[in-house]
Copies of this chain bind each other. A is one copy, B any other.
Amino acid sequence: MSDLSDLTTEAASRDAADPLAHLRDRFDLDPDVVYLDGNSLGALPRGVAERVAEVITKEWGRDLIRSWFGNGWWTAPERVGDKIAPIIGAAPGQVVVGDSTSVNLFKALVGAARLALPDDGPPPGGAEASTGGGASNARTELLVDDETFPTDGYIASSAAELTGLVLRRVPAAGLAAAIGPQTAVVLANQVDYRSGTLLDLAELARAARAAGAVVVADLCHSAGALPVGVDALGIELAVGCSYKYLNGGPGAPAYLYVRADLQSRFRQPLSGWHGHVEPFAMRTEFERAGGIVAGRVGTPEILSLVALDTALDAWAGVEIEAVRAKSIALTDFFLRCVDELVPAGAVACVTPVEGARRGSQIALACADAERVMAELTERGIIGDFRPPDLLRFGFAPLYLRYADALRAATVLAEVLG
């Protein structure tokens, strides 16, 4: 058992040895705050304010309409997508940025149903599917984990209604096993937004492939926190927001991943002019653009998009494996500090204690959690309350220190003591 002094020494020594410690300087942080809500709204990267100001005053104010091509606004959704791609393990040309996560989920789910259902050609699963699956017209269901972030379930319900599928909710842990020849589409959150539990996406992908079902992964709580490796997983589609671990700013545009070999067949329902093969020809009939451009809809919100573009520069030279290593070490250390300092029985960890089985957050069940989080915030420890009884602490490895983890646990102990 360590005391506070030992933990303080350990935190200092870990921070001194942290190979990512220098990244903290890439953010504009309040020195009086320990910010453990970067999994809800990431901190402000340096340079964003200056870049947005330049876009407003010069590109909008002076270059005006000419900026769409002269300053690269038109192609920003793909260009910024290619900056996100390496963070989630995607080769270039498969990620496009724009619209909210919910809107991208809708594109992905309806597009996935069309990939999976016979009218739009054979399912993407290939040989395994034709031997292992039933008749493809027997695909009737859209599977979703029943602990999903709510908007995923809501959008899935609408997509199911419009495509004639039946929505079936099963526990995340049973998702892979639930996939069968009747499954058209599976929607899964890689990291549970409440508990932080990491789903075995590789197992899910294997089960889906064997059954010829199409996977849509929600990476909101995993991208930027751990190596997703979308290409290596072989999943078909993914979506994610850019305002959590990617630090793109409030409501920063989300992204859509469409695996390269499926792009020519990906027919998403929001067929706006930005996804047209020749938007300025202003033709009557919609003809889908090739490549990932097919995921675009309407005019992108440029100010939010350039903020994200600049924010992503904080990732320059960062290896996601190193981020993952620090994330686990940091959350392990926080759990130890909580164990040592917080009165026994005052909190119960609902996040898997084994680092490999969680994302980059720790959720602690606690009596009166809403009031406790308000008091923590009052004292400069900002996390999140999730009903009914969870304190949720997100650890963004790019800007958090071991000393921050210790301070958070110390203040939590004071509040609960």
Residues of A within 8 A of B (CB): 28, 30, 33, 35, 37, 40-41, 43-44, 48-49, 52-53, 55-57, 59-62, 64-68, 73, 99-103, 106, 110, 146, 149-151, 153-155, 157-158, 162-163, 169, 194, 241, 243, 249-254, 269-274, 276, 279-284, 286, 297-305, 307, 377, 382, 384, 386-387
Are B41 and A52 in contact (CB-based, < 8 A)? no
Contacts of A59 in B (CB 8 A): 250
Are B299 and A302 in contact (CB-based, < 8 A)? no
Contacts of A305 in B (CB 8 A): 251
Name 27 A/B residue pairs within 8 A (Cβ), A-sorted.
A33-B64, A35-B64, A41-B68, A44-B56, A49-B53, A49-B57, A52-B52, A56-B307, A68-B250, A73-B251, A101-B298, A102-B274, A103-B297, A146-B284, A150-B282, A154-B273, A158-B269, A162-B162, A241-B299, A243-B299, A250-B301, A252-B301, A254-B298, A282-B386, A282-B387, A301-B301, A302-B304
Assembled-state Cα–Cα distance A49/B382 (Å): 29
Residue of B nearest to A169 (CB): B284
Assembled-state Cα–Cα distance A73/B53 (Å): 20
Contacts of A271 in B (CB 8 A): 154-155, 157-158
Measured CB to CB, the closest approach of chain B to A164, in angstroms, equals 10
Assembled-state Cα–Cα distance A332/B223 (Å): 56
Copies of this chain in the oligomer: 2
Closest 7 pairs (CB-CB, A-B): A100-B298, A102-B272, A102-B298, A250-B302, A301-B304, A151-B273, A44-B61
Contact (A150, B299) CB under 8 Å given A269-B106, A272-B155: no
Query: Which residue of B60, B241, B251, B274 contacts A302 across the interface (Cβ within 8 Å)?
Result: B251
Assembled-state Cα–Cα distance A66/B68 (Å): 34
Measured CB to CB, the closest approach of chain B to A178, in angstroms, equals 17
Contact (A253, B150) CB under 8 Å given A41-B64, A52-B52: no
Are B67 and A250 in contact (CB-based, < 8 A)? yes
Contacts of A384 in B (CB 8 A): 65
Are B162 and A249 in contact (CB-based, < 8 A)? no
Residue of B nearest to A157 (CB): B286
Are B99 and A302 in contact (CB-based, < 8 A)? no
Contact (A251, B37) CB under 8 Å given A65-B382, A377-B66: no
Assembled-state Cα–Cα distance A324/B299 (Å): 27
Task: Taking A102-B273, A153-B284 as given, write out 20 further A-B residue pairs in contact, using a Cβ cutoff of 8 Å, ordered by the A residue number.
Answer: A37-B64, A41-B65, A43-B61, A44-B61, A49-B61, A56-B249, A65-B382, A66-B377, A100-B299, A103-B272, A103-B298, A106-B269, A150-B282, A150-B286, A158-B270, A250-B299, A301-B301, A302-B304, A303-B304, A304-B304
